[in-house]
Structures are given as structure tokens and as C-alpha cells.
Amino acid sequence: MIEVLELEKEFPKKDGTRFKAVDRVSFEAQDGEIVCLLGVNGAGKTTTMRLLSTVFKPTYGTAKIQGYDIVTQPAKVRENLGFLSGDTGLYNRLRVHEFITYFGRLNQVPDAQIKSRMDEMAELLDMKDFIDRKIEFLSSGMKQKVSIVRSIIHDPPVMIFDEPTSGLDILTARNIISFIRDCKEKGKCVLFSTHIMREAERLADRIVLIHRGQVLATGTLEEMRAETNQVDLDDIFVHYVNKSNTEEELQAHEF
Amino acid sequence: MNFKTVFIVFRKEMLEMLRDKRTIFTTFILPLILYPLLFVGFGSIMSRQEQVLEERGAQIALVDSVQTEVSQSIIESIGENKGFELIPYTKEAKTLLDEGELQAIVSITDSTNTSGLSVYKVRVSFDSSKERNLLVYNKIKDSVNQSKESNIASYLETKAIDPGIMELIQVEQVDTASSQKIVGSFLGMFLPYLMIMMLVAGAAMVAGDLVAGEKERHTLETLLVSSAGRNELVIGKYLTVITVAMVNVVVNLFSMSFSMQYLLGSAAELGDFTSIPIWGFLILLAAMIPLATFFAALLLSLSTFSRNIKEAGSYQQPVMIISMLLGMISFLPSVEINTLLSLVPVVNIALLFRAVLTNEFQWLHVFLTIGSTLILDVIAIWATIKLFNTESVLFRTEDDTSLKNVRKEKRNLFNSFNGTVIYAILLALLYYLGQYLQKGDLLNGLIQTQVLIILLPPLLILRIFKLKPREVCRIKAPKLKEVALVPYIAISASVIVILIMQVINMLFPFPEKYLEQMSSMFEMTDNIWIQLAVIALLPGICEEVLFRGFLIRFYEGYGKKAAVIISALLFAAFHLDPFRLLPTFLLGLLLGYLTLRSGGILNSMLSHFLNNAFALVISTFATSAWLEYIIKDSDTIQWWLIFPAAIIFVVSIVLFHKVTSTKGEEQWESSDT
């Protein structure tokens, strides 16, 4: 499971001021649950994901993945984490099975287990035809499948997907969606980020609305509908954004 | 660290390298075909060239103002050379010679020496800048010598003396250098240089790809999210660079020595040269490894810093040029490795190479060379791992650094990039324009340099950006307490700096020419006040405005300490004087500290003035009686002065630090000791 506790990330800007990309964000995701981080571009989704995957260090707060702290135990966190993003590149000069084996080994998976897991996934995702081919000759759909296998080769209990469908055609995106559902069925804890409302509606058990680095609302779709009296997620989203804007204005007027 | 993971990374990177056609071509195929083509082609062109010269013969104009039997025999002997055409001297001969139509003009004159004998003088005029003429001259010389000997022999015969007397004294040349030494000294000239170049080229080829390439292809993040540690990734990649660099050296050496043997075998002039000692190559390769590790670490850290392969390439270029220049030291026959030079990176390996090839090396130098290289190596790897942990470096995005944008935002002027560019331009100006200005009148040249190159540009730039010099350069009245302390600081620091110069002089004696140049500065005018103005007052103002007023601003984003250190480095390098690098650096630290600590530039101006004035006084009055307590042998100052100077310096700096500490201003300790 994922527990995010007041996570904050500040970046220095070129003019010397600082800018909070993630501002005291807290939420959690249970095993066997799909949580969607929903927000427009630049809302702080990717930064949150990078903080959770230990690529960034938080300036305040922390998060726990399977109980391991992202600040003090980053190596343990990465062992328990599968990470997949839409713009992940691959090593073009490697063959598919070499590529997957490489990441399996980097994650300390025994060779025999890598082999059996790869065969199993190849069967599942219909990859047998190109498992021996060089990655540079693959189509983007095939590449995405390779990325999927790469992300799950060490069978992590927590999966993080950062805009997994961005830039993909419908068919390939469907593959990802069904893969995310599979992960849930296997009891994994899944966190995925998107700016596409439809995707969040279809997949998420719970939604975390994030805007300008802050969490606006957390809850299931039904709860949000009840609270806002809106049906469509688009409208719900706009409702929350407007609400936070007016709150800010009110605060500004008070001073 | 898990070495298994390191090996996994290494194996994957090597596999990728071997799959890259470009790498395979430049590492294996190119050297294998390039050198044979180059050497064989070069060899055949050379031998053809010589043949052509022989066949083409020469046109030689002749003036025989003696017209005797002897002069005739000289002319005949010259004319016997194949292809030589002798033509009578005409007025146009000189122009023909200049135009290359004629190869030489030979004129024979005579005179009578003290014992009454006729003496012949053969003058050969030729243009030695053309290879062909040199060849012709040598042939003429040989012919003249031949006829000289036969003439003397026949003269001796007429006097009934045995011509064998001419062989009375003979010089025999015995070369005691072993053939290994000859080969070694020849190879030692260019092999180190070539090997260093191949090493850098090989390392640069892959280093850019390994990290900057991963950024470019969006694979780095995936790698960082895997459970492999950052240091394991770095070391794995690092081993890859070393391996490719070493393979590049081995393949190039192999191909080169093979084709060289072919070339020299066919020319057959150096004889023994064909037997290049194999063991020597092995030692050289072993000696190459520390350097390979150093370059690998350095280039990998540059690659980590870069956004993409292209940027990595442009950062690699200065490294390649600098190592090329440093490696060229092996071409200088007079420079030999010593304890100090074995601490200078690249230079030490180049010189050690030559020493190993001529079998004249000391193990101390080997250990120092390898040891110092390994220390640098560890630092560079550490830096790479550090960079790998710096998220702002790993996820750098494109900056807009176009000039238009810079001008738009005044606040943006003062960043380190702009500072470095401005500094580089001024340095180039100083080098070219400054040298030109000081060529004629040194006094005026120095004034113009200070005002035009050092003071004017920062003021102009501030003007363009509509910034107030008074504010930017911190021109404000200092406190009385500060001003009272500055003389103590400045004079004691000057003494310390002069003593440091004396130590440097002991380690690396200053060349005669350098000393002359230095003293010419103090002797350009007899008027001590003008000297004081030009040597002390002007630099005190102009250089302070540029370095402590203007340039230091560009680096304050890194913090005050870093700004002081960087501005001191720039200041030291600006003097374009390797001997004064350390003293000027220390002085720069002090002056930067004074400015930033007190928030005003006038303290450092005063300090700079006093320092230069002190040096002027010492050198002008070195022989005066009143300075004999501190100066011995009229040129060095007494060593014991270090004690009072150090004490005064420390005390006055501590006081200065106290005097300038104000509430609210952030505290920071002295950065120069």
C-alpha cells in the first residue's frame, strides 16, 4: 500500500524565487485498489509520481510504500515498486528478451524466475512473435507491451503508472487499461495519474483531485457526485477548481 | 555496493556498444584500414617525391670571376651531378632565384691569404625554404668538397708530400645508445601524444551516449526507478567507458605499428626500428589504464551533466583540446619527468611514457603519476555519483539562453553563464589587444589596457542594461574602522605572497626572460609617482571594479563563498602568468572577501593598491640601506618575515571580521587562510 504524508516539493526558479510543484499532498492507496491522481497538465502529478519512485527527494513530508519510507529507505521502496510512464524509452539495440532480462536482473530477480515470468507474460500479452526481435524494429504498441513486462518483471506489490496512455493509440491504450485491471485483480496496489476524465471514471476505485500542487478532493466517484450534485466527472472537476479559486479570493480579501 | 549489479550494467552497456554500427566502425574498422592507407600512401608519396627531385635536376647560375684551373675543376665537379644544368649568371638570376626558376647561384671568387696562397671562395645562394633547393645545395656542397680534396691532393703531390697526410686525423662516430633507446626516444616523441588522443577519443565516443544519451531517449528514469543503486549504475557505465577507451588504444596501436613496420621496412633507413619491443607496448598499455580511468570518470560526469548527446559533445571538446595540448609536451625534448611534473595530470603520463620507452624511469615517478591520477579519478567518480543524485541535473530542461531574452530581464544578467562569457571575451581581448597595446610604449600600453580592457567594458555593460555602477559595484564609503585595518591586512598579505613567490621560484626557477619582463615594468619610468599611479593605483581601481565589483556579481547565486573563490580563480587566470597563478589566486580570495564581507569595494581597492605599491617599493629600493633588514642579497626578502606577517594578517583579519559583523547579515567565516 501507499501512504502519502504531507508531501511537498519545491523547485528553485530561474529568477531566484521558489515554486511549490507539490504542496503538502496527503492520500493513501490500499492493496487491491486503483487510485487515480487526476489533474490538468502541470498540476503536480508527475512530480508526485517521481517523489514516490524516489527519483526526487521531497523538501517536506514523506511517503511510505509497503511501509518503507521513501526518504530513508529508497532502495527498499524501489524493490517494491513497478513504474510505468507513457514516454518511457527503451534500449533500441537490445532484443526484447535481453531488455526484460536486464531489468529483471537489476531488480535482483533470479534468472529462472525471469524466464518463467517472461514466458507467462508473453503468452498473456501475445508477444511471442517478437520476443527475439530487436526493439528498434518494433511498433509503438509492441514497445508498450515490452514496457509493461519490464515494469512488472520483479512482481512488485505496488504499481505506479504516470500518464500511462498518453501518446498511445486506442488499441494500445486498451492494453494498458486491461493490464491495470489485471494488477488490481492480483491484489496489487495501483496508483495511476491522468488528465483524461474518461479514464479516471472507468478505472478508479478512488480519485485524488490535484490542482496547482494541492489536493482539492479525495473520494470515490459516487462520493464526489453526492458532494457536488454533478454527474459528469468533468463538471465535478470544474466545480472543485472553482471552489478552491473562490476560497483563495476570499482569503485574499480578508487581509 | 553490489558488484553483481555493476557487472550486469557493464555487460548490458558493452552489448549495446557492440551492437552499434557507428562504434564498431570507428573503433575497429576505421583504424584497421586508415593506418595502412595513410602510411603506405604517405610512404609511396615520399619516395616518389625524392625520385622526382632527383630526376628534375636543377638550374644553377654560375659566376666564375677567377677563371683558373681550380675554379674550372670546381665547376666541372658540380656539373657532373645528374640533371644539373649550369647557365651563365645574368642580371635576372636573382629574380629567377626568388621565383624558383633557378635553384642556386654559385659564385667563385679568390683572394690571397697571409702565406701568399690563392684561396677560393665558393658562395652558394639558395632559397632554403624549398625542399628541392636544399637537396641541390647539399649536392653542390658534396661536389665542391670532392674537388677541394682532389685539388689539395694534387697540390701536395707537386710539393712532394704524401697525400695520405690528408687522412691524418679522422673522426669516427660511435653511437653508444642502444637500439632500444634510439627507437624509444623516437617513439617517445609522438606515441604518448597519439595514445592520449586515442584514449580520449575512444572514451568520448561512448561517454556521451551512456548518460546524456539515456536522457535523450527517456530511458534514464526507468533505470533510476529500478532497485539498482546509483553508484552501481555509475560504476558499471564507468567500466564500459574504460573498456572501450582501452580497446580503442589497443586496436589503433596494433594497426599503427603494423603499418609503420611496413612503411619503415620499405624505406629501410632506420634499420633497427622495425623491431619495436613488444614488452614496451605492454608497459605502456598498463600505464595507460590510470589515465583511461581518469578520462572515463571525467567524461562520464560531463555526460551526466549534459541534457543530450549534442551538449555532451560540446562539453567534451575543451577536454579533448586541453588533453591534446598537455599531451604535446612529449614533443619537447628538453622537458623530463620530475617529482613535480609527475603530479600534473596527462603531462605526467606523456613524460613517463617517454621515460619508460628509453628505459630511464624512476619508480618514484611511476608511483606518483599513478597515485595522483587515481586520486583525481576517485574525485571525478565521486562527482559523477553526486551528479547522479542531483535531481536538478538529471531532469534538466531546455533553458532559453538567447541574447534577446537575457536583455529583457535585467535580473537575469547576473548568472554564471553570462559572467563566464563576458570573462572569456575580456580574456581574449586582453590577450590580443593588450599585447598589441603594450608592444610599443609599455607605460601607455599598461594605462590603455587598464582603462580600455578592464574598466570600460563592465561600465559599458552596466550602461546598456541601465544599471547603476554605484549599486552594482558596491561603491560606498567604508567605515573608518575597516579602513584602519586594511593596511595591516594588505601589507602582511603582500609579504606572505612575495614569500610564496620565492618558494615557487625555488621549485620552478623563473626563466631569465620572464624576470627581465617583470623588471622592465618597474623600470619604464624614473618617476616613482608615475610608477605608483600606473602599477598600483590604476589596477587598484580598474581591476577591482571588474573583478570584485562586476564579475563577482555573476556568481553570487552560488553563495558568497563560491563567488569569492570563483572570482579569485578568474582573477588569477586573467594575469596570463603561470608563475603567479597561486599568489594572485590567494590575493583574489582576500580581495573578494574584503568586498563581500564589508559590502563595499573601496576596502579591496585600497588593499589592492597597497599590495602593488608594496611590491613596487620592495623592487625599487631593494638595494637601499634602509631595507636591508628585510631584504637579503638585494632581491629576496627574509624568510623569518613569515612569522610577523602571518601573525599580523591573522589578527587584522579577525578584527576586520568582527568590525564588519552586523546583526541581520548572515555570518560566514573567513575563506582564506
pLDDT band (50, 70, 90) for residue B651: very high
- Is residue B268's pLDDT more than 60? no
| Sign of torsion over alpha carbons B87, B90, B92, B95 | positive
- Is residue A231's pLDDT more than 60? yes
Q: How are the residues of chain B apportioned to helix, strand and coil, as percentages rounded to the nearest 5?
A: 75, 5, 20
Summary mean pLDDT of chain A: 89
A15 to B217: CB separation less than 8 angstroms, yes or no: no
- The mean pLDDT value for B614-639 works out to 73
CA dist B476 to A78, B551, B596, B605, B610, Å?
A: 56, 18, 13, 12, 19
pLDDT at B12: 93
Q: What ipTM was reported for this prediction?
A: 0.89
- The mean pLDDT value for B106-124 works out to 84
DSSP state of B636: E
Query: Quick one: angle between helices B230-267 and B30-56, nearest 10?
Result: 30
* Cβ atoms of residues A66 and A191 within 8 Å: no
B557 to A16: CB separation less than 8 angstroms, yes or no: yes
Lowest mean pLDDT among A88-97, B77-86, B409-418: B409-418
Query: What amino acid occupies position B602?
Result: L
A83 to B218: CB separation less than 8 angstroms, yes or no: no
- Give the three-class secondary structure for B356: helix
**B4 CA to chain A: closest CA distance, Å?**
9
B222 to A108: CB separation less than 8 angstroms, yes or no: no
Output B98-104 pairs: Cβ under 8 A, ≥24 positions apart: B98/B127, B100/B127, B100/B130, B101/B59, B102/B59, B102/B60, B102/B61, B103/B58, B103/B59, B103/B60, B103/B132, B103/B133, B103/B136, B104/B58, B104/B60, B104/B61, B104/B133, B104/B136, B104/B137, B104/B140
A55 to B225: CB separation less than 8 angstroms, yes or no: yes
User: How far is Cα B192 from Cα A40, in angstroms, rounded to an integer?
Assistant: 59
Residue from B23, B211, B226 whose CB has the most chain A CBs within 10 Å, to mutate: B226
pLDDT at B665: 45
**How long is chain B?**
673
User: How far is Cα B256 from Cα B245, in angstroms, rounded to an integer?
Assistant: 16
> Could you read off the pLDDT of B223-232 as tens digits, one per residue?
888 888 888 9
* Per-range mean pLDDT, top range of B57-61, B145-149, B168-172, B334-338: B145-149
B226 to A107: CB separation less than 8 angstroms, yes or no: yes
B16 to A94: CB separation less than 8 angstroms, yes or no: yes
Cβ-Cβ contacts under 8 Å, B19 against chain A: 93-94, 134
Query: What amino acid occupies position B157?
Result: E
**B219 CA to chain A: closest CA distance, Å?**
5
Cβ-Cβ contacts under 8 Å, B392 against chain A: 11-12
pLDDT at B272: 47
- Is residue B9's pLDDT more than 90? yes
* B647 Cβ contact partners less than 8 Å away, ≥ 6 residues apart: none
- The residue of chain A with its CA nearest to that of B396 is A11
> Could you read off the pLDDT of A88-114 as tens digits, one per residue?
889 999 999 999 999 999 999 999 999
- The mean pLDDT value for B490-507 works out to 87
Rg, C-alpha atoms of chain A: 19
A53 to B225: CB separation less than 8 angstroms, yes or no: yes
- The residue of chain B with its CA nearest to that of A79 is B227
- Between B360 and B649, where is the model more confident? B649
- Is residue B554's pLDDT more than 80? yes
Among B431, B394, B373, smallest CA distance to B211 is for: B394
Cβ-Cβ contacts under 8 Å, A103 against chain B: 222, 226
User: How far is Cα B487 from Cα A201, in angstroms, rounded to an integer?
Assistant: 76
User: How far is Cα B656 from Cα B591, in angstroms, rounded to an integer?
Assistant: 13
pLDDT at B411: 54
pLDDT band (50, 70, 90) for residue B668: very low
pLDDT at B183: 65
**A146 CA to chain B: closest CA distance, Å?**
13
Among A125, A137, A56, smallest CA distance to A95 is for: A137
* Single pTM value for the model: 0.68
- Between B514 and B457, where is the model more confident? B457
> What count of CB pairs under 8 Å joins A to B?
80
A107 to B227: CB separation less than 8 angstroms, yes or no: yes
**A200 CA to chain B: closest CA distance, Å?**
24
**A90 CA to chain B: closest CA distance, Å?**
6
pLDDT band (50, 70, 90) for residue B40: confident
- Between A78 and B639, where is the model more confident? A78
Among B226, B228, B390, smallest CA distance to A83 is for: B226
B227 to A89: CB separation less than 8 angstroms, yes or no: no
- Is residue B400's pLDDT more than 60? no
**B418 CA to chain A: closest CA distance, Å?**
14
> Could you read off the pLDDT of A109-134 as tens digits, one per residue?
999 999 999 998 888 888 889 999 99
- Is residue B443's pLDDT more than 80? yes
User: How far is Cα B649 from Cα B633, in angstroms, rounded to an integer?
Assistant: 26
pLDDT at B492: 92
pLDDT band (50, 70, 90) for residue B158: confident
DSSP state of B578: G
- The mean pLDDT value for B191-214 works out to 87
B218 to A93: CB separation less than 8 angstroms, yes or no: no
**A13 CA to chain B: closest CA distance, Å?**
11
pLDDT band (50, 70, 90) for residue B663: very low
Q: How are the residues of chain A apportioned to helix, strand and coil, as percentages rounded to the nearest 5?
A: 45, 25, 30
Q: What are phi and psi of A209, to 5 degrees?
A: -85, 125
- Between B65 and A16, where is the model more confident? B65
- The mean pLDDT value for B202-216 works out to 89
pLDDT band (50, 70, 90) for residue B673: very low
Cβ-Cβ contacts under 8 Å, A22 against chain B: none
* A218 Cβ contact partners less than 8 Å away, ≥ 6 residues apart: A27, A206, A207, A208, A209
- The residue of chain B with its CA nearest to that of A103 is B226
Lowest mean pLDDT among A152-166, B154-168, B308-322, B561-575: B154-168
Cβ-Cβ contacts under 8 Å, B218 against chain A: 87-89
- Is residue B404's pLDDT more than 60? no
In B33-150 the beta strands, taken as DSSP E runs, fall at 58-64, 84-88, 104-112, 118-125
Cell numbers given for B261: 613496420
> Could you read off the pLDDT of B274-309 as tens digits, one per residue?
455 666 667 777 778 888 888 999 999 899 888 888
Query: What amino acid occupies position A130?
Result: F
pLDDT at B266: 53
Residue B636's beta-bridge partner residues? B632
Distance of CA A164 to the CA centre of its chain: 7
Residue from A73, A84, A102 whose CB has the most chain B CBs within 10 Å, to mutate: A102
Among A2, A44, A3, smallest CA distance to A21 is for: A44
**A89 CA to chain B: closest CA distance, Å?**
5
Residue A192's beta-bridge partner residues? A36, A161
pLDDT at B403: 43
Summary mean pLDDT of chain B: 82
Lowest mean pLDDT among A36-40, A213-217, B245-249, B619-623: B619-623
pLDDT band (50, 70, 90) for residue B58: confident
pLDDT band (50, 70, 90) for residue B344: confident
A89 to B219: CB separation less than 8 angstroms, yes or no: yes
- Is residue B667's pLDDT more than 60? no
pLDDT at B398: 47
Query: What amino acid occupies position B77?
Result: S
